[in-house]
């Protein structure tokens, strides 16, 4: 519950960095502080030997069942078997029938179901894991509290939304965009910046990109926001309404992967927010949940330009839009969750779509809508451009990631600790 609070507070538009960090420290004091004892770490401190790398996530139960697979499957497929052995851990029962082609890519799939945190850490230590990686931090079945018990010599947070609050977490992976040097955001872990933090596999079975919708509707532009409803802050509504007012006849389609727009009452509530800013209700459309990923992606064929949310912006949603030929206008901010879209867009060579202020956010969206020919050309070429960018260069990304693990391991070997209590 406390982890849920940490993530949910990131949706608050007026949350200061100081208040955010204070809550993380409260989590640390209750759940993440250093604990003495435990089994010894018996890892042999040979800086050049093959590494055992463990990834912890309950979201990997079934191949393709969660968006995390677009980021993790390429790592499993492209890892160097001469340098790294991979183990997967999670609060689920891993089944070969559900994991299919992913099953042979890991040395072992270990269920943590029914194990206490200390027992889970003991299992990981017995497996001789050298580098243990937490996927997506506090967002769910992450078993982040097992890291408190020092399950491996090197412990890493990968794609966490905030500093973990785990005293025994050694590193937090970032990059120059998502976690810039000048950021005031505090991290208790050592920041390790990759050349790029985000990298995705091509989306399998994605529908073809349709022609620009505006060309088929008398030039009327349709904007879209497919982020979850909770990310659409009052400030984001205000900015989106400003865009709609400056683009006559334009519409806005709202959708998410969930069923947030199934309730008539909820739909009326968000429509009323736009009406309060002078936008007629008929210009706002909400789409129901679709049954398949392919149907969800096909919904992008109805929009011309995507408008990102803030302060908690998109990540996979931004990638979905780009893959479907839809440019996304994003706003950058002062923390990691405010910069994810910026990192995705910049890695794809689309940094010009990132605004530094709300006025610039509106200006960029309106400018895109004002040149339909250029927008059509972008739509037709965007998927190929993204595919050929570092955002989809999974071989390069995996090499950089495993080089980072090797660097961390060498540092530990230079000054090894043998017990969690040391």
pLDDT number for residue 422? 42
pLDDT number for residue 309? 98
Residue 36, strand partner residues: none
Determine the Cα–Cα distance for residues 86 and 91; give it in Å rounded to an integer.
Answer: 17
Could you give the 3-state DSSP secondary structure of residue 195?
A: coil
10-residue stretch averages of pLDDT, the chain, 422 residues long: 94 95 96 76 96 95 86 96 97 94 97 94 96 90 90 96 96 97 95 97 94 87 96 97 97 92 90 97 95 94 98 96 98 97 98 98 98 97 98 98 98 80 42
In angstroms, the Cα distances linking 351 to 304, 344, 411 are 18, 9, 34
Determine the Cα–Cα distance for residues 110 and 214; give it in Å rounded to an integer.
Answer: 50
pLDDT number for residue 36? 62
Please, what are the domains in the chain? 2-199+394-414 (3.40.50.11380), 213-391 (3.40.50.2000)
Both tokens of residue 50? 């093959």
Beta strands in 171-227 (DSSP E): 171-175, 190-194, 222-225
Pair 112, 146: CB distance under 8 Å: yes
pLDDT number for residue 35? 66
Least Cα distance to 77 among 201, 193, 205 occurs for 201
* 195 Ramachandran zone, left/alpha/beta (phi>0; psi -120 to 50): alpha
Pair 213, 301: CB distance under 8 Å: yes
pLDDT number for residue 4? 93
Pair 137, 146: CB distance under 8 Å: no
146 burial level (CB within 10 Å; 0-12, 13-18, 19+) = buried
Q: How many CB atoms lie within 10 A of CB 374?
A: 11
């Amino acid at each position: 519950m406390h982890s849920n609070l940490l993530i949910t507070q990131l949706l608050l538009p007026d949350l200061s960095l100081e208040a955010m960090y204070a809550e993380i420290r409260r989590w640390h004091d209750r759940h993440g502080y250093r604990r003495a004892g435990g089994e010894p770490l018996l890892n042999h401190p040979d800086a050049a030997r093959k590494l055992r790398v463990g990834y912890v996530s309950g979201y990997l139960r079934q191949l393709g069942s969660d968006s995390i697979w677009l980021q993790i499957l390429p790592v499993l497929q492209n890892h160097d078997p001469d340098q790294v052995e991979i183990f997967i851990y999670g609060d689920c029962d891993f089944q070969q029938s559900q994991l299919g082609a992913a099953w042979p890519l890991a040395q072992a799939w270990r269920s943590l179901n029914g194990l206490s945190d200390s027992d889970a850490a003991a299992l990981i230590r017995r497996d001789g894991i050298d580098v243990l990686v937490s996927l997506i931090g506090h967002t769910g079945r992450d078993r982040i509290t097992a890291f408190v018990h020092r399950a491996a010599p090197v412990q890493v947070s990968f794609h966490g939304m905030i500093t973990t609050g785990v005293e025994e977490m050694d590193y937090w992976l970032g990059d120059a965009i998502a976690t810039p040097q000048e950021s005031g955001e505090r991290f208790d872990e050592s920041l390790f910046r990759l050349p790029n933090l985000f990298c995705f596999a091509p989306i399998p079975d994605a529908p073809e990109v349709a022609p620009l919708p505006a060309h088929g509707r008398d030039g009327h532009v349709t904007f879209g926001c497919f982020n979850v409803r909770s990310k659409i802050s009052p400030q984001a509504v205000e900015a989106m309404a400003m865009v709609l007012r400056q683009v006559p006849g334009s519409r806005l389609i709202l959708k998410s992967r969930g069923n947030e727009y199934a309730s008539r009452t909820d739909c009326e509530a968000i429509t009323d927010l736009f009406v309060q800013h002078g936008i007629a209700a008929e210009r706002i459309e909400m789409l129901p949940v679709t049954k398949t990923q392919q149907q969800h992606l096909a919904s992008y064929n109805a929009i011309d330009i995507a408008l990102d949310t803030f302060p908690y912006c998109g990540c996979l949603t931004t990638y979905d839009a780009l893959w479907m030929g839809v440019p996304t206008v994003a706003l950058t901010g002062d923390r990691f969750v405010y910069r994810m879209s910026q990192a995705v867009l910049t890695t794809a060579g689309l940094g010009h779509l990132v605004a530094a202020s709300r006025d610039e956010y509106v200006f960029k969206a309106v400018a895109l809508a004002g040149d339909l020919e250029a927008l059509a050309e972008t739509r037709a070429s965007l998927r190929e451009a993204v595919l050929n960018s570092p955002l989809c260069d999974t071989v390069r990304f995996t090499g950089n990631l495993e080089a980072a693990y090797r660097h961390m391991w060498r540092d530990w070997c230079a000054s090894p600790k043998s017990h969690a209590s040391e």
